[in-house]
Amino acid sequence: MKLIKKALISVYNKDGIIEIASLLHKGGVEILSTGGTASFLEENGIPVSKVEDLTHYPSIFGGRVKTLHPAVFGGILGRRDNPSDIEEFSRFSISPIDLVVVDLYPFEEYVAKGASEQDIIEKIDIGGISLIRAAAKNFADVVIVPSKAQYGYLLQMLKEQGCASELSQREYLAAMAFCVSSSYDSAIFNWFNGKVKAPVFNKVVTESRQLRYGENPHQKGIYFGAADSLPEQIHGKELSHNNLLDVEAAIELISDFEETTVAIIKHNNACGCASADTPLEAWEKALAGDPVSAFGGIIATNTPVEKDVAEEMNKLFFEVVIAPSYSNEALDILKTKKNRIILVNKGLELPKTKFRSLLGGVLLQDRDTFTETPEDLKTVTLLAPEKDKVEDLLFANKLVKHSKSNAIVLAKGKQLIASGVGQTSRVDSLKQAIQKAHSFGFSTEGAVMASDAFFPFKDCVEIAFENGIKTVIQPGGSIRDNESIEFCNNNGIAMVMTGTRHFKH
C-alpha cells in the first residue's frame, strides 16, 4: 500500500470531482490544482495549493503552459526508492506527488460538432496528456486517473481503503491511462490525416460490449464501439455477433430507399423486399418473396410501424425489427415476445469507410454508397426499357448491390421475387433465382434481372430469355459485352448498363 499525501487535480469535466476532492481533503491530502479547476474547488469550500505558486510561473501563452515544469513533473516521475532520485528531491526542493487526476480537453467533441480549425487545435491537450503519461510511467509510486471514466474507480478506492492505493490498482489505472492517451493521440492524428492522407491505418476504440459468443458458440466475441454507433434498443435480448452483421446489412439496404419499403434480411442478404404505397402492402409483398427464409430473419423498414403492420409481423418468428419509430399499439404487440429485439433507427450515419482484418493485416476501403439513378442507365440495345421497367430495374439494382457476390436479383412491380447469391458462377446464381421464384409461385414472365457484375458470356441473357425475362440491368465491361447485346437485340430484350460494379464479399 502507498499513502496518498499530495494530489494534483486538473480536469475539464468536473462532474463528481467535488466528492473525490472532499475525501482527499478529509484524509489530510494536500491538493494542487490549476486554473479553472482550482477556482471550482475553492468555490466549493475545498482548499487548494495553486500550481503557479509551486512553479513560480503563471499560466502563460493563453493557458497553453500551466504544469510543464520540473517542480510538477519531478514530483510525479521521481522514484521513491531510488537513492539518486531521493537526493534530487531534497536538492531541488521537489515534493512528491502521489495522485494525478486529469480529464483532457474534449478534442473529439469539437471535431464532431464542426468547430473551426483554430478552436480544434486549441483543444489539443498538451499538459494533461503529459501528466497522464508521466504518472502512468511511474505507477510503482503514483496513482493516475486519466479521465472522467475512472472517477468512479478512484472514488470507490478512497471510500474502501482511505487515501492509499495498492500496486494492482495503480497498475490497472496506468494501463487505462495509456489507453486514454493512445486513443486521444489517434483521434488527433486521424483529424490531421483527413487532410494529409498518409497511408496509415490508425483506429482505437475504447468502448466495448461482451457478446454471448462470436459467429459460433465455440468462438469468443466482443463488439467494440460506442453506444451511439448502434441503433437504440428498446426491447429484447442482447444483440449477438450474427445479429449485428445482419443489422448493418439491413441498415445499409434500407437506407438506399426513399419510398415506403420493407426488407427481410437473412445471413446479410435480402430474402424479401418490396416498395409499395402503404407499409402493410410493402410488408405483405416482402414476406411473399420468400416466407421460408424469412423465419428467424431481421426486418427493416424506413417508415413508422403501426398496429396493422405489427399484427402481421407478429405472426412470423423473427429475431430483430428495425424502424424509425413505433406506435404504442405496435409496441404492445411486438413486445409479446420477450426476446424479440426492437431497434429504433433514426437515420444512423454509417462510417464512410469499412475495414476488416485479413491474414496479418487490415483491408480498408470506401463504403459503397453509390446508388444509380435513371440518369446513370445507358441503354445499349435497340429496345429501351419502358418507364415502369426502369423503376423495377433501379429497385433490383439496389438489392443486387447489397447481395453477396455472385448475385442475381429478379424483381417485378418493385417486389423481390427471387435472388441467387453467393454463388461461384453467375449462371448458377441466375438458375437459383429462377428456381426459387417458381417454387414460391412467381412467374418470371415480365420480371427484370439485375446483376452485380458484368456477364462474361451471353449465357445469362439466354437463360433469362428462356424464362420470360426481357429487361436487364448490369454494369457492363466484359470483352464479350457485344455477344450479350447482340443476343438481346435479336430477341427483343432491353438492356441497360450502369458502368458501376457492385461486388460484395
How do 448-451 and 416-420 pair as beta strands? unpaired
CB proximity list for 497: less than 8 A, separation 6 or greater: 377, 378, 380, 473, 474, 475, 476, 481
> Which run of H or E residues covers position 253?
helix 241-254
Q: Which long-range contacts (CB under 8 A, 24 or more apart) does 499-502 make?
A: 499/376, 499/378, 499/475, 500/370, 500/372, 500/376, 500/475, 501/452, 501/453, 501/454, 501/475, 501/477, 502/368, 502/397, 502/400, 502/401, 502/452, 502/453, 502/475
Distance between CA atoms of residues 119 and 487, nearest Å: 62
Distance between CA atoms of residues 19 and 155, nearest Å: 8
Quickly count helices (H) and strands (E) in the chain.
18, 23
Which residues face 263 on adjacent strands? 273, 300
* Helix, strand and coil percent figures for the chain, each rounded to 5: 40, 20, 40
Distance between CA atoms of residues 165 and 27, nearest Å: 13
Whether the CB-CB separation of 170 and 142 falls below 8 Å is answered with yes
Query: In terms of residues, how long is the chain?
Result: 505
Single out the catalytic residue among 50, 235, 267, 354: 267
Cell of 283: 410488408
Tell me the CB-side half-sphere exposure of residue 343, using CA atoms within 13 A: 30
Bond from prior residue into 406 cis (ω within 30 degrees of 0): yes
Which residues face 262 on adjacent strands? 274, 301
CA distance readout (Å), 57 to 10, 134, 151, 252, 429: 16, 20, 29, 55, 74
Single out the catalytic residue among 5, 6, 69, 137: 137
Active site residue 137: yes
Distance between CA atoms of residues 394 and 450, nearest Å: 9
Active site residue 267: yes
Which residues does the annotation mark as catalytic?
137, 267
